[in-house]
């Protein structure tokens, strides 16, 4: 064990990517050594050929700083890395190092993570639910709202484990989580997971039962929001939305590979997730509705999480200056209201009607397919809804 550890440490300093293999291999070895069970020694390979780095979700500081753009992810996703061996159930594995010493199985460890014993003290646990997307969908609002629930604790910053810090290992991942008391659910949100190639498989290997929450917003609104963010954060200094979305106005052909538009093909990204998780483990939230009716969406989310429905209309108050609902700080004794930061609710760029029409036409079949996949219609292509959405600005 000592040699393996020394070797790993030396390797870590040389090549960052190799650390991922090394630390996880070390971890897998320790699991097997502590368990002595042929079934448990069965490790599965996780192909991370397209493991992206540095791409990010939004303008929120993640665990390691400001987020990048999905464009970075695509660039990096072509990078060849290696085949990373993960234990049969990775998340269990971290805990099973300890659990193994107690002569218990990996499945005991994961079920500990899900159902804590009433006697256990507050501790950091792996999430049982992740808000996996989408960037600019309303993910911060959702996380902040659900954090009002007494049975929920959330990782405040975006963690970016599955798209950026995977090589830091599972202990690191758990360390990013807040302390949770018995009966509390831990939730993290990293919107870039939704478009990260490796994320579905990596998460499923860690916990096949993970609850996956996706806030999807009208892809045209989302793209405009994304673009507005790039300008506001200084990541983009050139180019107009119109010209980037539809490079040749004569043809009206949409550049679907431009990252703000690529993200909006939700059905295409969802295809990848469905190879690893069944549909009942997903909860889709209409981001446009979350803006207008947060309580309605929060009730559905609490039902999905199987927790008492506590957050309702009483928790929200519309703030005219902000133009959004804000949260009442219930039980504090003070009439305190907390709104999201100034980076949420930005002015969107103006788009010509012809580009808007091309975008609508482009996304319509994708939206339709998404609705049929999730069994719910979000009505983004209903003209009345679109007008309302535009009038908001």
On the question of a cis peptide bond just before residue 134, with omega within 30 degrees of 0, the verdict is: yes
Closer residue to ligand A3P (CB): 8 or 317: 317
Measured distance CA(173)–CA(27) in Å, rounded? 14
Measured distance CA(265)–CA(267) in Å, rounded? 6
* Binding test (CB under 6 A) with ligand A3P, winner from 85, 252, 256, 345: 345
Measured distance CA(248)–CA(252) in Å, rounded? 6
If you count DSSP H runs as helices and E runs as strands, how many of each does the chain have, helices first?
Answer: 16, 12
* Binding test (CB under 6 A) with ligand A3P, winner from 62, 68, 127, 137: 137
What are the structure tokens assigned to 63, written together? 């665990």
Taking CB positions, which residue lies at the least distance from ligand A3P?
Answer: 225
Measured distance CA(46)–CA(198) in Å, rounded? 9
- Could you give the string, one character per residue 236-265, with x where binding to ligand A3P holds by CB under 6 A and - elsewhere? ------------------------------
Q: How many residues of this chain interact with ligand A3P, rule: CB under 6 A?
A: 18
Closer residue to ligand A3P (CB): 55 or 169: 55
* Binding test (CB under 6 A) with ligand A3P, winner from 31, 129, 245, 291: 291
Strands (E), 122-198: 123-124, 129-133, 152-154, 179-180, 185-189
Work out how close the CB of 58 gets to ligand A3P at its nearest, in angstroms, rounded to a whole number. Answer: 4
Closer residue to ligand A3P (CB): 180 or 225: 225
Measured distance CA(294)–CA(311) in Å, rounded? 10
Q: Residue 62, interface with ligand A3P (CB under 6 A)?
A: no
Q: Residue 349, interface with ligand A3P (CB under 6 A)?
A: no
Q: Residue 325, interface with ligand A3P (CB under 6 A)?
A: yes
**Within 10 A of 376 (CB to CB), how many other CB atoms are there?**
11
Contact call for residues 206 and 126 (beta carbons, < 8 A): yes
- Could you give the string, one character per residue 152-191, with x where binding to ligand A3P holds by CB under 6 A and - elsewhere? ---------------------------------------x
Q: Which stretch binds ligand A3P (CB under 6 A): 15-23, 93-101, 204-212, 342-350?
A: 342-350
Closer residue to ligand A3P (CB): 108 or 385: 385
Consecutive H or E run containing 91: helix 90-101
Judged by the rule CB under 6 A, the positions of this chain that interact with ligand A3P are 58, 135-141, 191, 225, 290-291, 324-325, 340, 344-346
């Amino acid at each position: 064990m000592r040699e393996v550890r020394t070797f790993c440490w030396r390797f870590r300093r040389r090549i960052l990517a190799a650390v991922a293999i090394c630390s996880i291999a070390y971890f897998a070895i320790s699991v097997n050594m502590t368990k002595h069970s042929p079934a448990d020694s069965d490790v599965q390979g996780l192909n991370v050929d397209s493991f992206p780095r540095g791409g990010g979700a939004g303008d929120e500081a993640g665990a390691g700083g400001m987020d990048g753009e999905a464009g970075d992810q695509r660039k990096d996703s072509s990078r060849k890395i290696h085949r990373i061996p993960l234990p049969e159930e990775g998340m269990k594995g971290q805990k099973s190092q300890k659990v193994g010493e107690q002569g218990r199985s990996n499945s005991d460890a994961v079920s500990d993570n899900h159902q804590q014993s009433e006697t256990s003290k507050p501790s950091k646990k792996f999430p049982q639910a992740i808000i996996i997307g989408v960037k600019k969908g309303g993910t911060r609002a959702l996380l902040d709202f659900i954090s009002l629930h007494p049975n929920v604790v959330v990782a405040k910053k975006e963690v970016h484990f599955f798209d950026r810090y995977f090589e830091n290992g599972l202990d690191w991942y758990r360390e990013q989580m807040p302390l949770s008391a018995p009966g509390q659910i831990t939730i993290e949100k990293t919107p870039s997971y939704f478009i990260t190639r490796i994320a579905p498989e990596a998460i499923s290997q860690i916990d096949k039962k993970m609850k996956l929450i996706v806030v999807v917003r009208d892809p045209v609104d989302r793209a405009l929001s994304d673009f507005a963010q790039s300008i506001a954060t200084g990541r983009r200094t050139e180019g107009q939305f119109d010209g980037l979305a539809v490079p040749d106005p004569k043809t009206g052909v949409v550049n679907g590979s431009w990252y703000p538009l690529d993200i909006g093909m939700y059905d295409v990204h969802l295809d990848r997730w469905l190879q690893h998780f069944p549909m009942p483990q997903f909860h889709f939230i209409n981001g446009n509705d979350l803006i207008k009716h947060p309580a309605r969406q929060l009730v559905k989310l609490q039902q999905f999480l199987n927790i008492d429905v506590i957050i309702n209309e009483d928790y929200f108050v519309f703030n005219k200056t902000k133009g959004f609902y804000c949260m009442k700080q219930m039980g504090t004794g003070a009439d305190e209201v907390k709104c999201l930061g100034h980076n949420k609710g930005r002015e969107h760029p103006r788009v010509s009607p012809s580009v808007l029409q091309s975008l609508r036409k482009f996304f319509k079949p994708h939206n339709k397919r998404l609705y049929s996949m999730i069994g719910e219609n979000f009505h983004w292509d209903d003209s009345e809804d679109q007008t309302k959405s535009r009038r908001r600005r």
